Amino acid sequence: FQMTQSPSSMSASVGDRVTITCRASQGISTWVAWYQQKPGKAPKLLIYDASSLYRGVPSRFSGSGSGTDFTLTISSLQPEDYATYFCQQANSFPFTFGPGTKVELK
């Protein structure tokens, strides 16, 4: 079971709209979560069930998709958003994470 993620890295400026995509090798309904990880820190849940915003997460983060194609969008990139983002399929075992997208300062 594979989760591919693109891009693997990107450079963006504060205020930019950022879109990260994740594709599952088979249909997984909406059983996708998105995480943010900063260096030396544990991952943080941003989005669950493909499009539900986890409590306390800023509304500039949003998720969409179903089946095999999923998207994480940051509507206006903030300085604290520079990090690596991972998708995860949670439909069935083995749970699989995408390889990550590193968002860097342009």
Partner 1 sequence: EVQLVESGGGLVQPGSSLKLSCAASGFRFDDYAMYWVRQAPGKGLEWVSSISWSGDNIEYADSVKGRFTISRDNAKNSLYLQMNTLRPEDTALYHCAKDMSPSIKVASSGLDVWGQGATVTVSS
Structural Rg of the chain based on CA atoms:
13
Q: Which stretch binds partner 1 (CB under 8 A): 9-17, 18-26, 73-81, 88-96?
A: 88-96
Task: By CB under 8 A, tell whether 45 contacts partner 1.
Answer: yes
Sequence-distant (6+) residues with CB within 8 A of 53 are 46, 47, 59, 61, 62, 63
Mark residues 15-44: x for contact with partner 1 by CB under 8 A, - for none.
Answer: --------------x-x-x-x-----xxxx
The greatest distance separating any two alpha carbons of the chain, rounded to the nearest whole angstrom, comes to 38
Interacting residues toward partner 1 by CB under 8 A: 29, 31, 33, 35, 41-45, 47-49, 52, 54, 86, 88, 90-100
